[in-house]
Amino acid sequence: MESSEHQTDQSKRKARYEQFVRDALAKRPVRGRWSDLPRLIIQSLIAKRGIGFAWRGLWFYRKDEQGWKTFLKAATPVMAYPIMVNSTLRRSGTKPSAGLVIFSFDELSQSEMLDLISRIEHADAPSEPDRKFLSQLLNDESYKPNRRRRLPASITGGKIVYACDLWIPPLLLKNNCLEIPYLPCMAEPGDKGRINVLPWWIAVGEQQPVADANFWQPGQIGVVTLS
């Protein structure tokens, strides 16, 4: 019974998330459609940026919208646990930034995930190659959209756990900042794939608190660019 209820809740979250993204994309003044091109060309000429700028803008929005469609089709709810995040995300704000998180499609408890974070932070692994992997993971502060690396089985008990670069928009977080040790997300299954933050109100089954937020702007609901 509990498993059935869990699946129902996950299905509801996914459905609400899909509608949220569609609503955000629908408010974009540019959708990447050919009918957008004349207006983009006029705006580019007025701004003295040339027609090439208009083509790049059209291509970006076109590719982005197609990316969201394929992401929504495959993504499933997961719980991510931040290891490192930009300090700006620890205080209320609206500017998105990046972080490093771990997550799994296997069922692991919060205590198991927090224990893994502790082992990562202390490079606590039984072999030198695994310790080196964990050390490199922490020392690499670069951000590559949706980069996903599997943690060594020696510290996960054989379960599949990933470390992933995650783009984090504060508008999707309660109080517009990261306050809790976990982060509801939507992710594509597999060793490669995309992951985005699930809005907190969808995760807990509440109504959207801010209906007029600029979620339509690129980066405010996540990214679907593959690394």
Domain that holds residue 193: 76-227
Residue 23 domain-assigned (yes or no): no
Residue 65 domain-assigned (yes or no): no
Q: Cα–Cα distances in Å, from 108 out to 74, 140, 156?
A: 21, 26, 10
Q: Give the per-residue pLDDT at 21.
A: 95
Tokens found for residue 1? 């019974």
Percent of the chain with pLDDT over 70: 94
Residue 81 domain-assigned (yes or no): yes
Q: d(Cα 188, Cα 165) in Å, to the nearest integer? A: 14
For residue 22, is pLDDT > 90?
yes
Residue 29 domain-assigned (yes or no): no
Which has the closest alpha carbon to 60: 219, 221, 227?
A: 219
Residue 37 domain-assigned (yes or no): no
Q: Which amino acid is at 110?
A: Q
**What's the pLDDT tens digit per position in 28-44?**
887 777 787 777 777 77
Tokens found for residue 55? 């083509």
For residue 193, is pLDDT > 90?
yes
Query: Considering only 22-26, 62-66, 120-124, 207-211, which range has the smallest mean pLDDT?
Result: 207-211
Rg (CA), the chain: 19
For residue 2, is pLDDT > 60?
no
**What's the pLDDT tens digit per position in 132-180?**
999 999 999 899 999 999 999 999 999 999 999 999 999 999 989 998 8
For 175, counting Cβ atoms within 10 Å of its Cβ (0-12 exposed, 13-18 middle, 19+ buried), the class is exposed
Percent of the chain with pLDDT over 90: 62
Q: Give the per-residue pLDDT at 45.
A: 75
Beta-strand runs (E) in the chain: 76-85, 97-103, 148-150, 162-168, 183-187, 195-197
Element housing 61 (H / E): helix 51-74
Contacts of 103 (CB under 8 A, 6+ apart): 78, 79, 80, 81, 161, 162, 164, 185, 187, 195
Residue 209 domain-assigned (yes or no): yes
For residue 55, is pLDDT > 70?
no
Element housing 166 (H / E): strand 162-168
Residue 48 domain-assigned (yes or no): no
Q: Give the per-residue pLDDT at 211.
A: 66
Residue 99 domain-assigned (yes or no): yes
Q: How many domains does the chain have?
A: 1
